[in-house]
Amino acid sequence: MQMTAPEHSTEVCELASLALIRFTGTDARVFLHNQLTCDVEALTPETSTYGSYCTPKGRMLATFLLFRSGDDYFMQLTAALRELIQKRLSMFILRSKVKAMDATGEWVALGISGIGAAALARLISGTAPAAVHGVTHGKDAIVIRLPGERYELVVPADKAQSVKELLAHRAEVTEPQHWDWLDIRAGIPMITPATQEAFVPQMANLDLIGGVSFTKGCYPGQEIVARTHYRGTLKQRMYRASVPEGENPQPGDKLYAPQTGIQSCGMIVNAAPAPNGLVDVLAVMQIAAAEGGDVHLGAPEGPQLELQPLPYKVAAD
């Protein structure tokens, strides 16, 4: 299907590449707060947040969207990492009154974007959040407002087919790659198996999108993350860029620049085709290489990246 720019139409797609882990129990809030980079204690049923889960060395194992329904917490992440992250977190539950379970089959996630997104969300749910990262709980869906004038509907599986049919009559149905591109345009990274343990959160701008709290207590990797923040030792950041049509960049692909010669200066985080026929990427690279503006994909003489703006300021610490 042809993709269109979101400001010119209203699009809907099923987010089939995402999975949900549900955390239940009286200790769920404290447990997650002590494991994740984001401020779980501040999360209410009316809010959501981005976040990450790190190794003790501060390297990200996963990025996610976290939200609540009642006393339950839902972690939405790439399906390719759901089982691994669920098992790893479950190892640390020990005697805490927490259960982690795969909730992917109980819900269907649908993304709505474009000029009529808010109206469609209200049509389905009867309500829609006014603020970015707001959450409303309507009659047929949990509605989450995301950056870039987008709404995600988390619909009970038994109601999903009727909701999808209703949306398909009122919006253009697009492939999940279009939602991936919207994430890229909004500067929202998704860690995948190819990029696990490659970055500390700040390298992928998690601190710039509200995914890191510097006022909370300990969690795996907290010492490294805090030291990077307070000592100003960050030498890499994430940027958005375009690569020429016909190229097929993948997460984990290396980048090169004159400043580093034959040594890599960065890595592709995510990639998706853009409506203009090019391929847009999020890429972590050395700040000096980005400032030089001469970054190449795959080899020192590979295709040149053209840096594109992000909706937030990326600056050296």
Query: In CATH, what number is assigned to the domain containing residue 214?
Result: 2.40.30.160
Asked if residue 198 has pLDDT above 60, the reply is: yes
Question: Residue 313: inside a domain, yes or no?
Answer: no
Question: Residue 268: inside a domain, yes or no?
Answer: yes
What is residue 3's predicted lDDT score, i.e. its pLDDT? Answer: 52
In total, how many domains does the chain have?
2
Does one domain contain both 180 and 199?
no
Does one domain contain both 147 and 238?
no
Question: Residue 96: inside a domain, yes or no?
Answer: yes
Asked if residue 106 has pLDDT above 90, the reply is: yes
Does one domain contain both 24 and 54?
yes
Question: Residue 312: inside a domain, yes or no?
Answer: no
Does one domain contain both 197 and 163?
no
Q: What is the pTM of this model?
A: 0.95
Enclosing domain of residue 253: 193-307
Question: Residue 1: inside a domain, yes or no?
Answer: no
How sure is the predictor about 229, in pLDDT bands with cuts at 50, 70 and 90? confident
Does one domain contain both 16 and 155?
yes
Question: Residue 143: inside a domain, yes or no?
Answer: yes
What is residue 240's predicted lDDT score, i.e. its pLDDT? Answer: 98
What's the mean pLDDT when you consider all of the chain? 94
Q: Which of 155, 186, 217 is the last residue of a domain?
A: 186
Does one domain contain both 245 and 263?
yes
Joined together, the tokens standing for residue 316 give 């050296």
Q: What CATH number does the domain containing 114 carry?
A: 3.30.1360.120
Asked if residue 2 has pLDDT above 50, the reply is: no
Residue type, 44: T
Does one domain contain both 132 and 226?
no
Asked if residue 1 has pLDDT above 50, the reply is: no
Q: Which of 168, 186, 204 is the last residue of a domain?
A: 186
Q: Which of 138, 170, 186 is the last residue of a domain?
A: 186
Does one domain contain both 112 and 174?
yes
